[in-house]
Structure 1
């Protein structure tokens, strides 16, 4: 006979399990019919699995995580670029990408966004294409041919009618943007735009030509290219970008920000906050290792992401971040730029209390190692 929900609550109430695991267990049990004997077996197996997953007291969790990520890292390829599922979009993979993640680079070498769309845009390719043109940087050269007329001391832009129409622009709009960006008048005659420098000199004309190349007529400056792809698994169009500007994309109609993401962890931190950045570190590191055919227990990666984000901001693991902020002078000196650390500590009169692993190894003392390790002292009787 199947047990009632009250019986399930009663039998699971005093289990020594984390709240999220307890809630998940109760939720799963409420969806199926089980006898009392089966319920007892499920609870026993759950407790057994949970206790097996816990680390032993005083286990050196940090050292184990370091070797568990570092050893597979030695097998990773050094190649920088690879086509990752999306044609025409290059992304950094392998060891270079893993280094980018733990270094919390402000500007990754190949930033990329995956932009999911709202229902209206996701099912219609034409709507998705219009949104792509709102995102992709449209330069003057994309809209037609540019030539230099030395005799007239002018730049001539012959607009392509089809391209201008596709991108939902007019010659007048283009002229206004160019005038605003270049600071010189633009003469418009049909699809021909003529631009002359303020002072008629060859040098000024060349400089004007260079400035013209950098003007963004439409879209976001940092987005070089947008690829539209039909994802069969979810039956909708998804945009993949070369370049990242998550904050700017959030303001556009048709973008589903609940699913859209970027491989730039610092952008995720600025837009969504530290918890989202922490999850992004876990996802990016796991995906990078998995792409190389390497399996690392997610808890090792979670420990690294926790250390990087524990202070409420994303910090790199290196001398400019976590390693450089250690309280121990000797531990900091052992990592990088040894002389600088020792000189600075000497000037400040720092005292090293030798509480960590590295500094005790340096001076030849026994180390205090182990997560959860405590120092016991006898209390005086009063």
Structure 2
């Protein structure tokens, strides 16, 4: 069999990435490391077991660090240069997520933040044992997924939004056809009938070629016979509009994440993004978003208890109703029993004949 020259070229390119990242290579294998933050070539911090601390590792020079970032872009067929594309959002071969900025856009020197891909995946039970949510909340996630609720997970950077998407996806029936759309591959969905699409920010392409963005990929999924669509993150108006199109055209069971400080803020941000695109009046946008989204989940990295689901909200006739809230003083999840007894998700499960300890 003839060797594939493209594969060899790819292997050689990643070998160069490994070479340039040697100063921090040990941290990728170290237990508990979640982030590697390179402020400049001689200033490196590592987050381990949730605590960020400076480390002795350093690169030889600004030029060496800048070359490392450019080499990552090269390995992925992306563009990263000082003049036109000084910012890189990308991933390493092992799945670790990279965000880097070249000098002089970063005036103190090229900086890179790496979210280390976990060696072992945290499953639903692991997060339960860590206290991220209660047993009742986990059961609610299962039921909401089974009845094909459209769900939006909100929170800040590093709050565990993607991990929660993985938890929700773990309850998807094995016979479902799932299509994921991300700007950088992170999701780990365990179904056999799976298609993964990726839309990196800037590809290195031939003249007149077009970059494929999140909006285009989400719209593409609608023609690929998905049972469910999972969107890694809604960042802009185009992606928000396409997401709404998906949940408004019969593709129930769709999930995504968005940056927001609360479930209500997430709802407002979705509405604002879509209305800002300009094709629909705000009142129409509000009605469509609120009638097609069913569950909002807020994630947060709390000061004293780590990553927690701090609120679960149902939309009932467009109005948000809180079921669970995190009590920051007592450090426990508080259930509104009356609100849960009137849950539209549980009522739907009962109609479908889905058994649950919550019913």
Judge same fold: TM > 0.5, yes or no.
Answer: no
Structure with higher strand content: 2
For the pair shown, the structure with the greater C-alpha radius of gyration is 1
Q: Which structure would you say has the larger RCO, counting Cα contacts within 8 Å and 6 or more residues apart? A: 1
Structure with higher helix content: 1
